[in-house]
Amino acid sequence: MYLFSYRVIFRLSYAVALAVFTFALASHAVAQAYPAKPIRMIVPYPAGQGTDIMARTIAERLSERLGQRIVIDNRPGAGGNIGTELAAKAIPDGYTLVMGTTATHAMNASLYSNIPFDHVNDFAPIILVGAFPMMLVTHTGIPASSVQDVIKMAKASPGMLNFGVGSTSSRVSVELLKRTAGIDVVPVLYKGATAMFTDLIGERIQFGFETVSAALPQIKAGKLKAIAVTAPKRTELAPGLPTFAESGLAGYDVVVWVALFAPKGTPGEIVAKLNAEAEKILQTTEMRQRMVTLGYDPVGGTPEQLAAYVKSETQKWSQAIKEAGIKVE
């Protein structure tokens, strides 16, 4: 009887070991063959916005390294939630990626009451691509040239100044300014930077918050005027432009980031391959120079580091948004 039991146990152990080995071989084969067709990279914002610019920049180089075309799929709306939900519910086979942001993977969880996805548990983190500040801009007809000038204008005309916002991050930037400076201004919501810039240049609104990469072309063309950047340090692209903290608003700090994610359940081998290739791209001199030109600080790192960062950023913005009383419905 004991001999029989040992034989049964041995056969079961052998079967389990064989199954594990077979699965490992299959997973390895999948990773080796990947990608066998074009990859879709969802951008949950309009074309031309900061996230879109960065997504196209890295997609072009990642496509060269992987030997397959990466198609950018812009799915804007609801502060990035529409495109992000689409990615969360996609087949986890490595052929759908999403360029997530501070908004979609940190802020929105505290801003929106009913989000149809879990930004932590529904995604497989790949790599933190880069970080950058927002920029406060105004049309050339406004006499303000500093943050303190803007505050004085707002206090002189409570509820009369309009601030254009084309993303969750820009909305949070306005609300934090209201709270920190003790002013009453009106956020005017847009679906993206392009529509906001059109109204700002046309002087239908007075101010706007947007990413450095999206705002700089308008500034260089003389269509808009820059006031300050939201990061704790100045940007290399506009070293003469002060931060909000330098302008008298200590503690005002909004740094936006972009990161690559896949749907939860994407094979670990594929995630590792995408991380390795993206990391190599971010380490090249050409890419780092390109990102600095666009207003980004290259980051990189492992999927595990990105996962930890998302959790810490979620906690940080949850507290800040709650204290500021910001809510988006």
Residue bearing tokens 């306005």: 174
Most confident of 45-54, 85-94, 112-121: 85-94
Residue 63 neighbours by CB under 8 Å, 6+ apart: 39, 69, 70
Q: Is the pLDDT of residue 6 over 70?
A: no
Average pLDDT, the chain: 89
Residue 287 — very low, low, confident or very high, per pLDDT cuts 50/70/90? Answer: very high
SS3 101: strand
Q: Is the pLDDT of residue 62 over 70?
A: yes
Count CA atoms closer than 13 A to 227's CA, side-chain side: 26
Instruction: Determine what percent of the chain is predicted with pLDDT higher than 70.
Output: 90
- Is the distance from CB of 105 to CB of 193 less than 8 angstroms? no
Residue type, 50: G
Range 11-21 average pLDDT: 49
Q: Is the pLDDT of residue 131 over 70?
A: yes
> Which is nearest to 211 in space by CA: 231, 191, 190, 188?
231
Q: Cite the residue boundaries of each domain of the chain with CATH code 3.40.190.150.
A: 32-131+256-324
- Is the distance from CB of 257 to CB of 104 less than 8 angstroms? no
Architecture of the domain spanning 32-131+256-324: 3-Layer(aba) Sandwich (3.40)
Lowest mean pLDDT among 13-17, 71-75, 257-261: 13-17
DSSP string covering 207-242: EEEEEHHHHHHHHHTTSEEEEEESSSS--TTSTTSP
Tokens of 205: 């609104």
> Which is nearest to 149 in space by CA: 66, 225, 72, 251?
225
Give me the phi and psi of 153, to 5 degrees please.
-60, -45
pLDDT per position as a tens digit, 105-116: 999 999 998 899
Residue 25 — very low, low, confident or very high, per pLDDT cuts 50/70/90? Answer: very low
Amino acid 168: pLDDT: 85
pLDDT per position as a tens digit, 218-234: 999 999 999 999 988 88
Amino acid 169: pLDDT: 87
Residue 251 backbone zone (phi > 0: left; psi -120 to 50: alpha; other: beta)? left
Range 43-60 average pLDDT: 92
Q: How far is CA 164 from the centre of its chain?
A: 19
- Biggest alpha carbon distance in the chain? 95
Most confident of 138-152, 209-223, 315-329: 138-152
Q: What CATH class is the domain 133-229? A: alpha beta
Residue 20 — very low, low, confident or very high, per pLDDT cuts 50/70/90? Answer: very low
Q: Cite the residue boundaries of each domain of the chain with CATH code 3.40.190.10.
A: 133-229
- The residues facing 232 across adjacent strands are none
Range 117-125 average pLDDT: 97
Range 97-103 average pLDDT: 97
- Sign for the pseudo-dihedral over CA of 133, 137, 143, 147: negative
Tokens of 86: 């689409």
- Is the distance from CB of 222 to CB of 239 less than 8 angstroms? no
Q: Is the pLDDT of residue 70 over 50?
A: yes
* Helix (H) or strand (E) segment spanning residue 228: strand 224-229
Against a cut of 0.85, is the pTM above it? no
Residue 3 — very low, low, confident or very high, per pLDDT cuts 50/70/90? Answer: very low
